[in-house]
Structure 1
Amino acid sequence: MTITNVEDRRMLDFARMWAPYGGPQPDEILVHFGMPPTRFYQNITRILRTAAPGQIPVAERQLLYTVSARYCAADGSSRRRRRVEPVPGGRTR
């Protein structure tokens, strides 16, 4: 499916521009799109899932999914998640 919705195109272009830098700051998303980062990245994920595979290069698509995953936590938090690293003994810190 080709991206024809103007707002979807704007969001995707914005996300693509900032993805190499870890994504835009939350306040930039709010200023440009009037929504919190969680909703913005839920929209990006939806767009990526519905866009034709050839429309976005695989490496760039994966980068966008990675950046989106930082915000799309199950609890709906809009803050960036810190990475949880395993420690010896099977516990996490």
Structure 2
Amino acid sequence: MMNDSVIDDARVVEFARRWLPYGGGTTGDLLVEFGMTPACYVARLGRILSGPAGHRLDPQLRADLRHFVAVRSARR
């Protein structure tokens, strides 16, 4: 699995933005794109949204992605 320093935050956010209308990427999509499990991806996205990169996002996009993270985190 790749660590946070190898995968650019912007790539993670763009993937999330692109797949949000469809409920997020599939397990296969996440493995191919990032080499991550869904749980690792959701945790990483949550960290990004809580940090400086997240605060630079459009407020509605950030709120939508935070909701996605909360729902996915609750499923575990």
- TM-score band, normalised by shorter chain: 0.7 to 0.9
Percent same amino acid at aligned positions? 34
Deviation track 1:61-91 (CA, whole Å, cap 9, x = no partner) reads 11111111232248xx3xxxxxxxxxxxxxx
1:27 aligns with 2:28: yes
Under a length normalisation based on structure 2, what TM-score does the superposition of the two structures give? 0.76
Instruction: Return the structure number with greater helix share.
Output: 2
- Whichever residue aligns with residue 24 of structure 2, its letter is G
- TM-superposed CA distance for 1:21, in Å, is 2.0
Moved runs in structure 1, 4+ residues, more than 6 A? none
- Partner of 2:37 in structure 1? 36
Tell me, which stretches of 5 or more residues in structure 1 are unaligned? 78-93
**Could you say what the CA RMSD is over the residues aligned between the two structures, in angstroms?**
2.0
AA aligned opposite 1:12 = V
Name the count of aligned residue pairs.
70
Q: Determine the C-alpha separation between the residues in 2 that align with 1:12 and 1:27.
A: 18
- Give deviations 1:17-73, integer Å, cap 9, x for gaps: 1112221112101111111011101111100110252x2111111111111123224
The 1-side partners of 2:38 and 2:70 are apart by 11
Quickly say closer, same or farther: Cα 1:25–1:7, change in 2 above 3 A. same
